[in-house]
Amino acid sequence: MKRLCFFDAKPYDKIYFDPFAKEFNFEILYCDSKLNEQSVVFAQGCDAVVAFVNDRVNGTVIQALSGMGISVVALRCAGYNNVDFKEAYGKVHIVRVPAYSPYAVAEFAMGLLLTVNRKLHKAYNRTREYNFNINGLSGMDLYGKTVGVIGTGKIGQVFVNICKGFGMRVLAYDIYPNESLGYEYVDLDTLFSESDVISLHCPLTDKTWHIIDEDAISKMKKHCYIINTSRGGLIDSKALLEALQERRLGGAALDVYEEEAEFFFEDHSEKGITDATLALLSTMPNVLITSHQAFFTEEALSNIAKVTLDNMDAYFAGDKLENEVQYTAK
Q: Which helix (H) or strand (E) holds 157?
A: helix 154-165
119 backbone φψ class: left, alpha, beta (φ>0; ψ -120 to 50): left
**Closest listed residue to residue 49, CA positions, set 312, 316, 313:** 312
Q: Which helix (H) or strand (E) holds 123?
A: helix 120-128
Separation of alpha carbons 312 and 305, rounded Å: 11
Amino acid present at 174: D
**Closest listed residue to residue 174, CA positions, set 155, 150, 196:** 150
Ranges assigned E (strand) in 79-195: 93-95, 146-150, 169-173, 184-185
Phi, psi of 264 (to 5 degrees): -70, 150
User: Is the alpha carbon torsion for 186, 189, 190, 196 positive or negative?
Assistant: positive
Helices assigned H by DSSP within 166-317 = 188-194, 214-218, 237-245, 276-283, 298-317
Separation of alpha carbons 7 and 329, rounded Å: 29
Separation of alpha carbons 85 and 327, rounded Å: 5
Residues noted as catalytic: 231, 260, 292
CA-derived radius of gyration, the chain: 21
User: How far is C-alpha 153 from the geometric centre of its chain's CA atoms?
Assistant: 14
CB 251 within 8 A of CB 225: yes
Q: 177: how many CB neighbours lie within 10 A of its CB? A: 13
